[in-house]
Amino acid sequence: MGITGTEVAKEAAVEEGRSVFDNLTKFIVWTLRTNLGEGLVILTAVFLGVTLPILPVQILWINMTTAGFLGLALAFEPKEPGIMLRPPRAPNAPILTRIMIFRITLVSLLMLGAAFWIFAWEQRIGATLTEARTAAVNVFVMIELFYLFNCRSLKKSTNTGQYSNSKKHSS
């Protein structure tokens, strides 16, 4: 066969290492967006001098439940197809690329807008302050849930199944 057991073990270790690194990166991209979005909601409300759409205790609840249940799913995500076809990652390359930082920022801003919009809309239709805050919390959690599916792969589109660098590799 021409491949020694040592070479097979090295390749298996590299494959497992890439999978672990991918899953950690997915979790970081997912959780940073959550934390940035929550922080932006609080900061925006304070700077604008308006009622908090989400209370700090609700943010704590969101973090405790979603990080434990939703975020853990990313840690056990199976290896992506073609993981060994990718070139090695440069040791000095940042964990978060510009595209990932853009994604984190964009989704955080969308969460900020959605939380304020649903909070204001609920109050306009006659909901109590508590009901409006509950709606804002639920919007946050739902966005987190849908973004979790988006973070299942940072290399390919969730719609097309195509890798973002779209190089054709032969098996």
Domain ranges of the chain: 7-79+113-150
For 107-137, what is each residue's pLDDT tens digit?
A: 999 999 999 999 999 999 999 999 999 999 9
Note the pLDDT tens digit of each residue in 12-55. Answer: 899 999 999 989 888 888 889 889 999 999 999 999 999 999 99
Query: What angle is formed at CA 124 by the lines to CA 121 and CA 126, rounded to 5 degrees?
Result: 115
Q: What integer pLDDT is reported at residue 3 of this predicted model?
A: 62
Identify the pLDDT of residue 156.
Answer: 61
Q: Is the pLDDT of residue 167 over 90?
A: no
Highest mean pLDDT among 7-11, 68-72, 108-112, 146-150: 108-112
Mean pLDDT (whole number) for 48-75: 89
Whole-number Å distance between alpha carbons of 150 and 116: 23
For the cut 70, the answer to whether the pLDDT of residue 169 exceeds it is no
pLDDT on residue 170: 38
Position 91 scores a pLDDT of: 87
C-alpha separations of 100 from 30, 72, 88, 153 in Å: 10, 20, 19, 12
pLDDT at 165: 45
pLDDT of 155:
66
Tell me how far apart the alpha carbons of residues 47 and 136 are, in angstroms, rounded to a whole number: 19
> Under DSSP, is residue 26 helix (H, G, I), strand (E, B) or coil?
helix
Q: What is the pLDDT of residues 88-102, one digit of tens each?
A: 888 899 989 899 899
